[in-house]
Amino acid sequence: MPIATLSEVLQPALKGSYAVGGLVTLGWEDMRAFVAAAEAENCSVILQAGPGCREHTPLPVLGKMFRYLADNASVPVVAHLDHGYTYDECALALDSGFTSLMYDGSRKSLKENIEETKRIVKIAHESNISCEGEIGFVGYSNGENSAGTDPAEAEIFANETGVDAMAISVGNVHLQENKEGGLDEDRISKIQMLTSVPLVIHGGSGVPTEQRKRLAHETNICKFNIGTELRMAFGQAMRNAVNKDVKRFDRVSILKETHDPTVAVVRRVLSNLKG
């Protein structure tokens, strides 16, 4: 199936009251499992290359990997740059075949964030691909604190940038290993009243499963980014494979055993979001 843009999978989600998984990849083994899970669930999937992934594998290589998987998949697959921090990084992703750029100016002033995000929206739309922006800073577990999204600023940001999707800070936190938190539904409601763009939750692994499922079907949240939850499952599967035979050293044989357990976890995540 031809590779999809972010808008091509989020607009149907917005109209159909469901969400799509933005799955944070680290390498070939997990991204292949993510697509296999999406095919098994018969739903779209967004493959995301975040900063950690890009430190390990160059964007041009990731673009070819994503496109190979998309071209051979039976469901829509989006190649998404997650947390692009500079114009040059976003431009390289575009040149590398990505179909969605996420520019993160959330640490900047509203004025700067709007100005810089508009530049990325422009190059994305000129190439007929999508752009996600972020308003309000989503913090990190045991790290930087969040700055919640101001609904009035969200309205201004959405209108002035023309983004295809908008990431918001409503109690979500990156790298959270448990689900003890929860999203601020009152703030989500206020943002939704003032905007019509598909909303995105970063740090989706920390959102309680039932809340994640309900908000996917009852609000304009059309994309949940899931990373930590999947990395934990992959890591446990690899640990089990290594410990099963401590003399085994062939990494291909070890990594093959991560596939089925990862697919099983991803299927559960996707099944709760899809329409």
Task: Return the active site residues.
Answer: 82
**What is the phi/psi pair of residue 149, to 5°?**
-70, 130
Residue 61 CA: distances (Å) to CA of 11, 54, 64, 88, 220:
28, 10, 5, 17, 33
Three-state SS at 160: helix
Q: Residue 58: CB partners within 8 Å, gap ≥ 6?
A: none
CA dist 24 and 30 (Å) reads 9
Residue 23 host element (H or E): strand 20-25
Extended beta strands in 75-178, E state: 77-84, 100-103, 130-135, 165-168
User: Which residue bears the tokens 């976003």?
Assistant: 90
